[in-house]
Amino acid sequence: MTEPDSLRASGSSTDLDPPGVNQLFAVIAYGEVAAFYRLTDESRMAPDLASKIAIASMAASQMRHYEVLRDAMEAKGIDVLAAMEPYVKTLENYHSLTLPRTWLEAMVKAYIGDSLAADFYGEVVDSLSGESAAVLKSVLGTTGHSEFVIAQVRDAVKENSQQRNRLTLWGRRLLGEAITQAQHVLARHDELAELVMSGGAGLGNLNEFFERLQSAHAERMAVLGLG
């Protein structure tokens, strides 16, 4: 399946990667699998066939990302399932603590959750170079499905302030749980924490990092017509 050339390229880039990069690949890879199952679960609430298909496409694109990460890890000789195992509980916790009860909550979670993950991983990726950085950037890029979500939420809250207030609180809860779970992961995984702390973008100060996450979050809530 894997061409000898890409094997060699990955092999050489591994030597340059700081420790923790393999952990980063693994946590993002399981994050994609968890997001696939979260999205397909939530698609039961879709109000019509067009929405059902849109969410299925979003889920499928998570699996495409997973497959890119899996191939890159396998090329490095990593046992993908074993590497993901330490992150299963944290990511399942995040999802079970933030189960949407309505289709709109599911839409807000899809948009806010994925963007938070992209913010978080994006800052780390900025400090990397070589093939690992290229692979991560390719899976953290926008999935192109956001427009669908933004339109659904904006339309629903435009003239319904009760709905808007409810979804604004929901968005804050999503941010809170995401930060809690991210801190759990960092506390338990030294090499990953070191990678985050040593980030070129000034991650040495974790508080500043979480403040940046919060301000990006506020901007995105505004895009949805919330906040």
Residues that bind a copy of itself (CB under 8 A): 33, 36-37, 40, 43, 49-50, 52-53, 56-57, 59-64, 66-67, 81, 84, 88
Q: Which residue number, 1 or 187, has a Cβ lying nearer to a copy of itself? A: 1
Q: Which residue number, 63 or 206, has a Cβ lying nearer to a copy of itself? A: 63
Closest approach, Cβ 84 to a copy of itself, in A, equals 8
Closest approach, Cβ 32 to a copy of itself, in A, equals 9
Q: Which residue number, 57 or 163, has a Cβ lying nearer to a copy of itself? A: 57
The contacts of residue 43 (CB under 8 Å, 6+ apart) are 51, 52, 55, 56, 59
Smallest CA-to-CA distance from 174 within 107, 89, 84, 88 is with 107
Q: Which strand (E) or helix (H) includes residue 58? A: helix 49-75
Q: Which residue number, 21 or 83, has a Cβ lying nearer to a copy of itself? A: 83
- For residue 108, CA distances in Å to 6, 10, 116, 125, 162 come to 38, 37, 12, 25, 15
Q: Which residue number, 5 or 48, has a Cβ lying nearer to a copy of itself? A: 48
CB 25 within 8 A of CB 121: no
Closest approach, Cβ 56 to a copy of itself, in A, equals 5
Distance, in Å, from the CA atom of 58 to the CA atom of 149, rounded to the nearest integer, reads 10
Closest approach, Cβ 43 to a copy of itself, in A, equals 8
CA 143 to chain CA centroid, Å, is: 11
Closest approach, Cβ 37 to a copy of itself, in A, equals 7
Q: Which strand (E) or helix (H) includes residue 101? A: none
Closest approach, Cβ 49 to a copy of itself, in A, equals 6
Q: Tally Cβ neighbours within 10 Å of residue 147.
A: 10
Q: Which residue number, 52 or 212, has a Cβ lying nearer to a copy of itself? A: 52
The contacts of residue 58 (CB under 8 Å, 6+ apart) are 39, 110, 143, 145
